[in-house]
Amino acid sequence: MTEALKQVQTPAYVVDQGLLTKNLEILKSVQDRTGCHILLAQKAFSMFYFYPLIGRYLKGTTASSLYEAKLGKEEMGGETHIFSPAYLEREFDEVLSLCDHIVFNSFTQWKKYKEKALQSGKSCGLRINPECSTQDHAIYDPCSPGSRLGIPVSAFEGENLDGIEGLHFHTLCEQNADALQKTLEAVEQKFGRFLYRMKWLNFGGGHHITRADYDIGTLVSCILHMKEKYDLEIYLEPGEAVALNAGFLVTRVEDIVRNGMDIAILDTSAACHMPDVIEMPYRPPLLDSGMPGEKAYTYRLGGPTCLAGDIIGDYSFDQPLQIGDKLVFGDMAIYSMVKNNTFNGVRLPDIAVKDEMGVHVVKHFGYQDFKGRLS
């Protein structure tokens, strides 16, 4: 398989239709067993080439902005949901025209747009903050102290909920169903009394449902419990789980230098093409490689930008690397092409598909994509 991926001109993201479909089948099985609605969180994966395929398995999309909502509506259809910490006045009418569910982050936002939203007949909800941290990554924890995301229960008291049909929480990041179970206990304890009057509850994203060790049985019982006890429609909006391990980033070794260790300079950049490597931070999987020192030849892999910290990580190989070798990073469909940038004027990777016809490029980027965002 690696050899087929290496045929592509680098750098390129290649998304494997078969691997994506396997994930979609797992997600659909959760829908079939529970009657829940699963939506694609486009912030993680907006490769709309695949939206017709995804739309055959999932119920629609969720958006973080007007533009994502528009893309989801245009390219997939089905249900279109949106959450934003603050809607822009100049965009709100268009948001309303596109979205079926609109989730507000504060009572101030809700009161500001309530009349318009109710007139449009759209279903409105509030994002709650159950104040239940289940993870250590502070920047990915909306329950961390001082978080601006979601309304804590203390701010719910005495507020008028007329017109609100649903509640939404998003607190997880790459987690298993035990973290969901714990979160739901906090949600029930703090917000249970409000849930009886709602039509729906959205469990947000961060559920790593398509990971091999994910406990789908517990997820199913969590969904059924909330659905039956409070008579609710349940929504989940995973991003990562949809395209987890379904994509690759193919790159080429451009130079090899030595400074106390061997360093390979690639035509792909952590800063530009895989920003989560630096932000998260994490070490992306690289096919046919080992941890430093595990195989005979260890290299630091870095990008072509000026940033000293544009380092992907240290990896070892059975054979010495040569200029011109192609390397294939794994799990590069999610939070990659949606987050990339052209810092230093670095070329954006092409977007390619691997299907029964082989590997073919569906989008090529060039100088105009760099220049077009500047003036």
Ligand X SMILES: Cc1ncc(COP(=O)(O)O)c(C=O)c1O
Residue 154 contacts by C-beta under 8 Å, 6 or more apart in sequence? Answer: none
Amino acid present at 19: L
- Does position 24 interact with ligand X (CB under 6 A)? The reply is no
Q: How far is the CB of 43 from ligand X (least distance, A)?
A: 6
Q: How far apart are CA 125 and CA 201, in angstroms?
A: 9
Q: For 66, how many CA atoms within 13 A lie in the half-sphere containing its CB?
A: 12
Which among 15-23, 232-240, 303-311, 355-363 is the span making contact with ligand X, rule CB under 6 A? 232-240
Q: Strand, helix or coil at 280? A: coil
Rg (C-alpha) for the chain, rounded Å, is 22
- Does position 125 interact with ligand X (CB under 6 A)? The reply is no
Q: Contact letters (x/-) for ligand X, 81-120, by CB under 6 A? A: --x-------------------------------------
Rounding to the nearest 10 degrees, give the CA dihedral for residues 314, 176, 245, 247. -100
Q: Strand, helix or coil at 347? A: coil
Nearest CB to ligand X, comparing residues 128 and 241: 241
- Does position 72 interact with ligand X (CB under 6 A)? The reply is no
Q: How far apart are CA 326 and CA 253, in angstroms?
A: 6
Q: Contact letters (x/-) for ligand X, 30-69, by CB under 6 A? A: -----------x-xx-------------------------
- Does position 238 interact with ligand X (CB under 6 A)? The reply is yes
Nearest CB to ligand X, comparing residues 61 and 289: 61
- β-sheet bridge partners, residue 200: 166, 233
Nearest CB to ligand X, comparing residues 44 and 264: 44
Q: How far apart are CA 195 and CA 207, in angstroms?
A: 22
Q: Which of 130, 206, 275, 303 binds ligand X (CB under 6 A)?
A: 206
Would you state the structure tokens that stand for residue 164, as one six-digit string?
A: 């609100």
Q: Contact letters (x/-) for ligand X, 139-178, by CB under 6 A? A: -------------------------------x--x-----
Residue nearest to ligand X (CB): 205
Q: How far is the CB of 312 from ligand X (least distance, A)?
A: 21
- Does position 310 interact with ligand X (CB under 6 A)? The reply is no
Would you state the structure tokens that stand for residue 216, as one six-digit string?
A: 């789908």
Return the axis-axis angle of helices 107-119 and 89-98, rounded to nearest 10°. 50
Q: Which residues bind ligand X (CB under 6 A)?
A: 41, 43-44, 83, 170, 173, 204-206, 237-241
